[in-house]
Structure 1
Amino acid sequence: MAQASENYLHGHHPSVLRSHSWRTVQNSAAYLIPYLRPDMSILDAGCGPGTITIDFAHKYVPQGSVIGIEPPPGDVLEGARKKASDEGVGNVSFGVGDINDLKEFEEGRFDVVHAHQVLQHIQDPVGALREMKRVTKKGGLVATREADFGGFVWYPDSPELSEWREIYVKVARSLGAEPYAGRRLVSWALEAGFTRECIQATSGAWCFSTKEEREWWTGLWADRVVSSSFAKHALEKGFVTKEKLEEWSKAWREWGKKDDAWFCVMHGEIVCRV
């Protein structure tokens, strides 16, 4: 999830939350699992609907505690609280907060400060990493995973999907975001004051290839290109027409019906020792 602003590229349309609610530690933060201990304290900055946050609390730090924060107005947090309550996870809490200014937390508060798909959406990712570092204990970890839209790879080729990505990048950068964030994480961490030997960099991927995976992935993007905040920003800035968005939506659905369709989403990952 992203910054405390209506400029967040995706917004919280149901098509966006379908994607965010699918995320777990295993499919979205597996790179961090080897570092976790059962008694750790974790801050999950930009937690969205809280699925990763709750997963951390329930499965990976059951004797510890997890706090999830989401920028104002934090509309999705009520659903996160309900999910935690329904699942009987008591060592997790949620509140409104902004990764750019974690003023509600004192220096050295957490063992781990985590963000997933957040830095790519904000105007000052280096400043956010500094804030994450500030509230992490000495010897603790700052961890983030970011998609890289240049590393989106699919087959068969689709001129419409290629055009969609080109405009997506254009819209994102017009909002001060960086859709090629995955490849820049080490650079940003160095700017934020981490030494190179304290940065462990890896990469990970989502792959959608089965009939069910393709239907889910292409269906949510078919909806997002016409109904999410991306569509609003793209139209307001004059980058596309409504007819073009409809064309892309149809192309997503048609592409996903092909038996040989395959889509890979590459991510950059870093774990930084404070």
Structure 2
Amino acid sequence: MVDQAYYKKGFQKSISNTHTWRTVENSGKFVTSVIKPNFKMLDAGCGPGTITIDFAKNYLNEGGSIVGIEPTQQLIDSCNELKRKENVKNAEFQLGSIYDIPFKDNTFDLIYSHQVLIHLEEPLKALKELLRVTKPNGFICIKDADLEATVVSPKKYDLLKEFSILKAKNAVSTDTKAGRKLRSKAIKAGYDPKRIKSSISQWLLADDLEDKRKFAEMFIDRIKNSGEIAYQDEAKNEKIKQKTIDAYNEWSKDEDSIYCITNFEIIYQK
């Protein structure tokens, strides 16, 4: 049922693995101002399910529940494996597209969608679907990175940002300025601007060398195995891949280095 350009090459475990470190604390904290423990919740584009499970275990513990949807069976299987491992009863995972969410109108108290619109060819269509399945007075909580607002330091590691942007642009559908456009996209999709609350957050890797090592290892594996490309010319692409791997290895050991990814967020009350 894959209808999204992001999955045109199929499921890539090395890509999914770079999403497994995400939790409510580092990726969904803005939602905690509106979530209630009895909410019926949707995670639209749940990835490997780590955030979904975190919501279920730690934030929906008074009769609340959450459903995660993804359009690829491999991700659903991975999510269900994590669900069994964590012994979570109030989370479900099923195939579903954000373009055609398999639920009736006005179903959910809260919808969370993280780093999904950034990869869509038709983000307005997705935003309208999120609005359709949200209950009156319910909440839509969306977060998107702004890759071009990334800060890497010292300057010798600029290649890490450059490679991230180049491969994103070669992915066809990825919007490297998605974060800063998030509010505008919502308004164009019919969301009342007076009911949008905007915020911003960062993923910052700086102080903890072990965190930086793990981050670098994940992205080196992704560079080696995902099939993502920065340049169409094969020789040029292989050269920049190796340079980026070398830069990640050096960056991860450098106590002076930082990597900061800026994320924009909106909460919309229907």
**Structure 2 length as normaliser, TM-score?**
0.91
Preserved CA contact (<8 Å) 2:40 2:109: yes
What's the offset of the Cα at 1:9? 8.3
Residue 267 of structure 2 corresponds to 271
Write the mapping of 1:121-270 to structure 2, written as runs, cut at 5 A: 121-157=119-155, 158-172=157-171, 175-209=172-206, 210-231=208-229, 234=230, 237-238=232-233, 240-270=236-266
Preserved CA contact (<8 Å) 1:45 1:69: yes
1:107 aligns with 2:105: yes
Three-state SS of the structure 2 residue aligned to 1:43 is: strand
Three-state SS of the structure 2 residue aligned to 1:101 is: coil
Q: 1:159 to 1:107 in 2, by over 3 A?
A: closer
2: CA distance, partners of 1:20 / 1:107: 30
Three-state SS of the structure 2 residue aligned to 1:131 is: helix
**1:163-222: per-residue Cα shift (whole Å, max 9, x none)?**
3144234314xx122121111110011011111110000001111111112111222222
What's the offset of the Cα at 1:86? 2.3
Preserved CA contact (<8 Å) 2:4 2:121: no
Q: 1:111 to 1:75 in 2, by over 3 A?
A: same
2: CA distance, partners of 1:259 / 1:147: 25
What's the offset of the Cα at 1:268? 0.3
1: CA distance, partners of 2:10 / 2:261: 20
2: CA distance, partners of 1:82 / 1:179: 32
Deviates more, 1:154-163 or 1:92-101: 154-163
RMSD between aligned residues: 2.0
Three-state SS of the structure 1 residue aligned to 2:109 is: strand
Aligned residues: 265
The amino acid across from 2:95 in the alignment is: V
Deviates more, 1:105-114 or 1:160-169: 160-169
Three-state SS of the structure 1 residue aligned to 2:73 is: coil
**1:18-75: per-residue Cα shift (whole Å, max 9, x none)?**
321111111100000010111100110111111111111111112111100011x320
Residue 64 of structure 1 corresponds to 64
Deviates more, 1:35-44 or 1:4-13: 4-13
What's the offset of the Cα at 1:162? 4.5
Residue 35 of structure 1 corresponds to 34
In the TM superposition, structure 1's runs of 4+ consecutive aligned residues that sit over 6 Å from their partners are none
Runs (5+) with no aligned partner, structure 2: none
1: CA distance, partners of 2:64 / 2:214: 34
The amino acid across from 2:143 in the alignment is: R
Q: 1:116 to 1:162 in 2, by over 3 A?
A: closer
2: CA distance, partners of 1:165 / 1:19: 13
The amino acid across from 2:254 in the alignment is: K
The amino acid across from 2:18 in the alignment is: S
**Structure 1 length as normaliser, TM-score?**
0.90
Preserved CA contact (<8 Å) 2:179 2:263: yes
